[in-house]
């Protein structure tokens, strides 16, 4: 197996402070032989892509407007990681912490 076939991260997600009702982007750029599938997890649960949360062509996760609703306990804060997979294997990124403004 040569280096071009194996997966390698070019950019991994980094810790960030999220601002409610503003967009949030987490990087996940990978090199390797395609096709490459990128999936994201929040707190070890797969992120469901929707009109609000999409994975861009370069693997970046875009959350269009960060949610923090105390009543429903729905929040985009937490630990995120991305996984890249091709026919040669799977690679999981470092975990990135997304904090809501006011959290420590």
Q: Domain locations in the chain?
A: 8-97
CATH class of 8-97: mainly beta
What is the pLDDT confidence band of residue 4, given thresholds at 50, 70 and 90?
low
∠ CA 54-93-85, nearest 5°, is 70
CA dist., res. 38 & res. 81, Å (int)? 10
Q: Mind listing the pLDDT tens digit for each residue in 46-93?
A: 999 998 999 999 999 999 988 766 555 678 999 999 999 999 999 999
pLDDT above 90 as % of the chain: 73
* pLDDT at residue 70 in the model: 58
pLDDT band at 3 (very low <50, low <70, confident <90, very high): low
Q: What is the mean pLDDT of residues 12-27?
A: 94
In sequence order, what DSSP letters do the residues of 31-98 get, joined into one string? ESSSP-EEEEEETTEEPPP-SSEEE-TTS-EEESSB-EETTTTEES-EEEEEEEEETTEEEE---EEE
Mean pLDDT, the chain, whole residue set? 89
The residues near 73 (Cβ < 8 Å, ≥ 6 apart) are none
Which pLDDT band holds residue 5 (cuts at 50, 70, 90)?
confident
């Amino acid at each position: 197996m040569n280096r071009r076939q194996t997966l390698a991260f070019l950019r991994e997600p980094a810790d960030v402070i999220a601002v409610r009702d503003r967009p949030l982007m987490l990087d996940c750029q990978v090199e390797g032989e395609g096709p490459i599938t990128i999936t994201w997890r929040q707190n070890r649960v797969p992120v469901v892509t929707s009109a609000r949360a999409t994975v861009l062509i370069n693997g970046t996760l875009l959350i269009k407007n960060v949610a923090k609703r105390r009543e429903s306990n729905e929040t985009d804060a937490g630990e995120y990681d991305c996984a890249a997979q091709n026919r040669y294997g799977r690679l999981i990124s470092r975990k990135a912490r997304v904090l809501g403004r006011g959290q420590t």
